[in-house]
Structure 1
């Protein structure tokens, strides 16, 4: 079982071990050293080493940066986990990972009341669609957000910084992320 803060899970030791082994496997398959991946993701090599050993407490942004450097969808990095990942009032669970082209991930996300999550830019060409299921949510690219009520949706370029913001109630939404990779010359 995961312990929780504000009703959101923290990763237990078994989950951290699974994430660490999978991260190391992906890194080795890409032929990257610890130093290369850590530098590209903007984290300390010692922190990456601890993550691969099943220690540490990765943030959502850290997991996104690692996926981006490994050139894999976020869902591919968290796919073996049997639990949600989350931090600071935001919980994300992979629902499905598409196997076609382009890569498409589907997530369930829950955001605690009075939470503002500023997300870093994802890989170039990434697009995000949010459909609000319950509560109220302000979401979209930084400086160009939309206010959503249940049933509303927003599509935005996730390769730019973006934000999710709640007021006095929980918000629950479905998210699809489409990874449109650039054509390599």
Structure 2
């Protein structure tokens, strides 16, 4: 008997199976729609592997659900996320770590993330679910963020909003940059 997968892998495994069953598609079809290997998806549904932000976003888009639906554990009545805790997912293309702080519900589809970024690489994001909107507030450092063709530079306390359903980017301009990202999903 194999050991139980550790969170967030256990959460991701259950969520992938649940959402794939909800949509009514096979493992092969979901892998095709997400542009990932069937073996990778099979491993993730078994609670093994090390999924990147990009892989989970692709699966969320293919399933028509927000990223948070794949990584958020079941909610408690009172929930506290201590600094440095929470489901942390790293980008494979840039020095960006996203920590899901809160996920929306069926009635309030919004997710809250803490982003930690370091300069040196740009995190480019593909389009998310249609009509998604991103809201971002910089807590420290400097950040260039927004649609690929029209990014803006933000400093501590600055806020920006932009469509999440078009390609966009996040780029730390100084070390120790962090921001709070709120994603709205229709």
Compute the TM-score of the two structures, normalised by the length of structure 2.
0.83
Unmatched 5+ stretches in structure 2: 75-85
Aligned residue number for residue 153 of structure 1: 159
Give structure 1 regions of 4+ aligned residues with deviation exceeding 4 angstroms.
none
1:25 paired to 2:29: no
CA RMSD of aligned residues (A): 1.8
Aligned length: 169
1:84 paired to 2:88: yes
**1:15 shift after superposition:** 2.9
Aligned residue number for residue 140 of structure 1: 146
**1:89 shift after superposition:** 1.5
Correspondent of 1:66 among 36, 46, 59: 59
Please tell me whether the aligned partners of residues 11 and 70 of structure 2 are also in contact (alpha carbons under 8 angstroms). Answer: no
Aligned residue number for residue 78 of structure 2: none
**1:178 shift after superposition:** 0.8
Please tell me whether the aligned partners of residues 121 and 171 of structure 2 are also in contact (alpha carbons under 8 angstroms). Answer: yes
Please tell me whether the aligned partners of residues 24 and 52 of structure 1 are also in contact (alpha carbons under 8 angstroms). Answer: yes
For residues 34 and 141 of structure 1, the distance between their equivalents in structure 2, rounded to whole angstroms, comes to: 32
**1:14 shift after superposition:** 4.3
Compute the TM-score of the two structures, normalised by the length of structure 1.
0.84
Unmatched 5+ stretches in structure 1: 1-11, 181-185
